[in-house]
Structure 1
Amino acid sequence: MNVKHSLGALALAGLAAGAMAQEAVVKVGHSGPLSGAQAFSGKDNENGARLAIEELNAKPITVGGKKVKFELVSEDDQGDPKAGVSVAQKFSDSGIKYVVGPYNSGVAIPASRVYNDAGIVVASVASNPKLTQQGYKNLYRVNASDTQLGSKMALYAAQELKLKTVAVIDDRTAFGQGLAEEFKKQARASGMTVAAHEYTTDKAVDFTAILTKLKAKKVEAIFFGGYAPQAGPMARQIRQLGINARLLGGDTICTAELGKLGGDAVGSNVLCSQGGALLDKAAQGPAFKAKFKKRFNAEPDVYAASYYDAMQMYAAAMQKANSLDPAKVGAAISAGSYSGVAGTYAFDAKGDMKSSPVTIFTFKNGQPAALTSY
C-alpha cells in the first residue's frame, strides 16, 4: 500500500476521532403513557420535548468545550405505577441522567425514589403535592400543583359562577384524589356546600348510579378529579339523565380529547383549570404553537409547551454550570430562573414553582377556550 495514502487515511481517521471527541452525547429519558386511553397526552408531551431537542441539536450548544448532542429515549409507562418504576430502573441502569416526566402523579411518586437514588434530574408536570414533599433533590414540578389547580377552580366557581351547592367525584388515583380534596377544601372555605363525595376508577365508563344519586341532591356543579377518558362519558351521561349541573375539573380534562369523547355534551357547561398562563397571550406562545404545528401537523395540547420548556431549561442550566454533571446542573436550576414559553421556572426549596398562574377554560366547538387567568 502506498505510504502516502496510508498516512492520509491515518490523518483522516485522526480527524474523525478528534471530531467525535469534541461531541458529548446526552441521553434524555421521557416517561409517559404512550399506549392506552391517555396516549394522546403522552405523545403530546413527548413531542414537546422532541421539538426542543431538535432545535438544540440544530444550534448546537457547547458545554465544557464540547458540542452537545441530545438523544431522546422515550418509554411507555402506561400511566401505571409498576410500569413507571420499571421505566425509571431501565433509565437508571442505562446511565440516563436527565428525565422529562412522568405525566401521572400515581407514576411519578413511586418512580421518583428510583430517580433520586440514581442521581437523575427530573422535571415532571405531575401535580399531586406529595411528589415534592418527599424531600428529593433535583426533582422539579414544571407546572402548578393540585393545591393551585383544585383551589383556583373552587374560587372561580364560588366567586364568578356564584355556585352554592357542589358535589365531588374522584377516580381514586393519586392525581384524582389529591385534586378533589383541594377543590373540596377551598369550596367549603369559600362558603359552598359540598353535598356529596363519590368514587369511581380511572377505567370506568358508566357513571349512571353515581350521577343518579347526585341528581337527587340538586347540585349545581360536579367536580371530577380524574382524566378525560372518564370525563367525556360522564358529560354525556349528565346530559342523558337531565341533570342541570356544570362539570368542573382540573388540567387533565382541559384537552381537545374531552371534546371528541363528550361530543355536543361538552360546551360552556364544562370548566377546567390548567397550570400556566395563556399560550396565546404568552410572549413566545404563538411562535411555539406555529413551530409545533409545522413539525407535528397537530396543535400542541395541555403540556407540550411545559415539556419543551423543561428540555430547554436543562440545556440552559448545563451552559450556566458549564457541566453535564447532574448534581451541578441541578444546583444551577435550583439557584436560577429560566424564562420559557409556558412560564418562568424559578423553584422553591421543595422543587415547586415559586409562581404558577392558573388559567380557567371552558369549551367551544369541542376545543378548550380560555376564560381568564386566576
Structure 2
Amino acid sequence: MQLNLSRRGAVRLLTLSAVLSSALLQGCDSVPSVIKIGVAQPLTGNLSALGQDLLNGVNLAVEELNKEGFKVKGKAVTFEVVAVDDRASADTGKEVAQQLVDAGVVAVIGHLNSGVSIAAAPIYAAKGIPQLAISTNPKFTELGLDTTFRLVANDNLQAKAIGSYSASQFSGTKFALLDDGTPYGKDLAAGAGAQLKAAKKEVVLQQSFDDKTTKFDELAAKIKETGVEVVVSTLNDFQIVALLDALKAISYTNIKVLGGDTIKTTLMLKGAGVANGLFATSPILEAREFTAGSAFLDKYRAKYKIDPAYAGHYTYDAMYVISAAIRRAESAKPQDITTTLKKIDGYAPVTGSMKWDAQGEQRYGVIGVYSANGGLWESQMRSDNW
C-alpha cells in the first residue's frame, strides 16, 4: 500500500508531529520553573503585625531556598510567594482563597484566624491544595478534608492548660471568663471554663464580645463591682490593652490576667505593668526556646530590623517542610504535595520537625505558659499533656 501526500498534507503532518512531540516533552517535564506558594494572613487591621510576621517567616525561607538553588528531579526551580490579605474576615478569606487557587499556588500557608481557616479550607481542598495553618480551633482538622494541616497544638490542649494553670497557680477565687465571639475564642473559653468548674473555681462574670471591640469601660466597672481577682480571656492583644487601660482609669488593677496565644505578642507587653500579673498560654513557643532559634532571630532581625511579633519561625519552618515534600514527591502538583505531607517527618530548621496525623493534627505540639516580665515573655512551664 502506497501513501501519497500532497505538499500541504506533508506540512500538516510534520506540524502535528512537532506539536505531539512538544506535548510529550512537557508531560515528562511536569515540574514548573516557578513554584507558587500562597500566604494568606491579616496584613491590615488590628492583627496586621501578627499577619506580617507570619508572611515574613515565609519570605525569609523562600529567599534562602532560592539562593541555595533548589532543584526538583535535577531541575532548578524558583519559589514565588503570592501573598493576600484576608483581613481576619471569613468572607474575605474565602475570596482571597479563590484568588490563590486562580493564581496557581501549589500550597498555602494560612490563615491566622480559625474562623478564616475553616471558611477557606473547602476552597483549597477542592483543588487538592495543602493548607498549613497556625489556627488552633479543633474544628479546622475535623472538616473531613485531606488538605488541612495544623502547625501547632490545638485548643483542646490549650483550654486544659489555661484552666489548669489558672486554677492551680493563682490564689484568687473569683474569676471572669471573657471571649471574642469567634470560633477560636468561644470554644477556647468554653474549654477553660470547664476546667475551672472542675477545680471548683467561681466564675462570677462571663461575657462575650466581637473580635474588634475596644471599648471596655462598662466591662471594667463590672469586674470591679463583682470583685474579680483573675481574668481568663480569649480576647485579642489590642483588646486586653484597652481593657487594662479601662481598669487603670478606675484604679482596679490588683488582678491577674491569663489569656490565650493571641495576647502573647510584643504589643501586649506594653500592658505588662498595669495588672498584678499578665500571663499567656500558647502553642507557639518562642524562637529563643529552641537550640536553632538564635540563628533564626539573627537572620530575621538582619532582614526586617525588628523582632518577630508572633510565630514567624513556624511559617519559616512550614515553608521548609513544604519544600522537602516537593523534593521527596519529585512533583509540584498540589495533590502530590498533600500526599507526601501526610507521610513526612519533615525537617524544620528552627522547631526541629513537623509531622501530622491522619487528620492533619500536629504530632509534636505542646502548650507553654508565659508571664510578661521586663519586656519579655518568660517561660513558666510547658507540656504536651495538661
Same fold (TM over 0.5): yes
1:354 corresponds to 2:334: no
**AA at the equivalent of 2:192:** F
Greater Cα offset, 45-54 or 217-226: 217-226
1:216 corresponds to 2:225: yes
Asked whether the 8 Å contact 1:168–1:194 carries over to 2, the reply is yes
The answer for unaligned runs of 5 or more in structure 2 is 1-28
Asked whether the 8 Å contact 1:123–1:142 carries over to 2, the reply is yes
Which residues in structure 2 correspond to 1:52-91 (within 5 Å)? 52-91=61-100
Q: Deviations over 1:269-307 (max 9, x none)?
A: 110011144422312111111111111111112210111
Which secondary structure does the structure 2 equivalent of 1:256 belong to?
Answer: coil
Q: Deviations over 1:302-360 (max 9, x none)?
A: 21011101101100111122221222221221112124223531111111112311111
The 2-side partners of 1:342 and 1:165 are apart by 38
The 2-side partners of 1:243 and 1:173 are apart by 27
Greater Cα offset, 48-57 or 282-291: 282-291
Q: Which residue of 2 aligns with 1:317?
A: 325
Asked whether the 8 Å contact 1:277–1:343 carries over to 2, the reply is no
State the shift of 1:22 in Å. 8.6
From 246, 270, 286, the counterpart of 2:256: 246
The 1-side partners of 2:60 and 2:200 are apart by 45
Which secondary structure does the structure 2 equivalent of 1:218 belong to?
Answer: coil
Asked whether the 8 Å contact 1:278–1:359 carries over to 2, the reply is no
Identity of aligned residues (%): 28
Q: Which residue of 1 aligns with 2:374?
A: 365
Q: Which residue of 2 aligns with 1:110?
A: 119
State the shift of 1:368 in Å. 2.3
**AA at the equivalent of 1:255:** T
Q: Which residue of 2 aligns with 1:49?
A: 58
State the shift of 1:68 in Å. 2.2
Asked whether the 8 Å contact 1:158–1:192 carries over to 2, the reply is yes
Q: Which residue of 2 aligns with 1:136?
A: 145
Which secondary structure does the structure 1 equivalent of 2:314 belong to?
Answer: helix
The 2-side partners of 1:50 and 1:40 are apart by 15
**AA at the equivalent of 1:184:** G
Which residues in structure 2 correspond to 1:114-193 (within 5 Å)? 114-193=123-202
Asked whether the 8 Å contact 1:258–1:366 carries over to 2, the reply is no
State the shift of 1:129 in Å. 1.2
Asked whether the 8 Å contact 2:256–2:277 carries over to 1, the reply is yes
From 302, 306, 312, the counterpart of 2:314: 306
**AA at the equivalent of 1:178:** D
**AA at the equivalent of 2:100:** F
From 256, 267, 287, the counterpart of 1:257: 267
Asked whether the 8 Å contact 1:23–1:66 carries over to 2, the reply is no
Asked whether the 8 Å contact 2:106–2:332 carries over to 1, the reply is no
**AA at the equivalent of 2:263:** I
**AA at the equivalent of 2:255:** A
Q: Normalised by the size of structure 2, how large is the TM-score?
A: 0.86
The 2-side partners of 1:89 and 1:234 are apart by 37
Asked whether the 8 Å contact 1:49–1:308 carries over to 2, the reply is yes
Which secondary structure does the structure 1 equivalent of 2:39 belong to?
Answer: strand
Asked whether the 8 Å contact 1:48–1:306 carries over to 2, the reply is yes
Asked whether the 8 Å contact 1:317–1:329 carries over to 2, the reply is yes
The structure-2 alpha-carbon separation of the partners of 1:158 and 1:343, relative to structure 1 and needing over 3 Å to count, comes to farther
The 2-side partners of 1:293 and 1:66 are apart by 32
The 2-side partners of 1:214 and 1:126 are apart by 30
From 292, 306, 311, the counterpart of 1:284: 292
**AA at the equivalent of 2:70:** I
Q: Normalised by the size of structure 1, how large is the TM-score?
A: 0.89
How much is the aligned-residue C-alpha RMSD, in angstroms? 2.1
From 10, 23, 34, the counterpart of 1:25: 34
Asked whether the 8 Å contact 2:231–2:258 carries over to 1, the reply is yes
Asked whether the 8 Å contact 2:30–2:331 carries over to 1, the reply is no
Q: Which residue of 2 aligns with 1:4?
A: none
The structure-2 alpha-carbon separation of the partners of 1:238 and 1:343, relative to structure 1 and needing over 3 Å to count, comes to farther
The 2-side partners of 1:366 and 1:174 are apart by 30
Structure with max Cα Rg:
2
State the shift of 1:249 in Å. 0.6
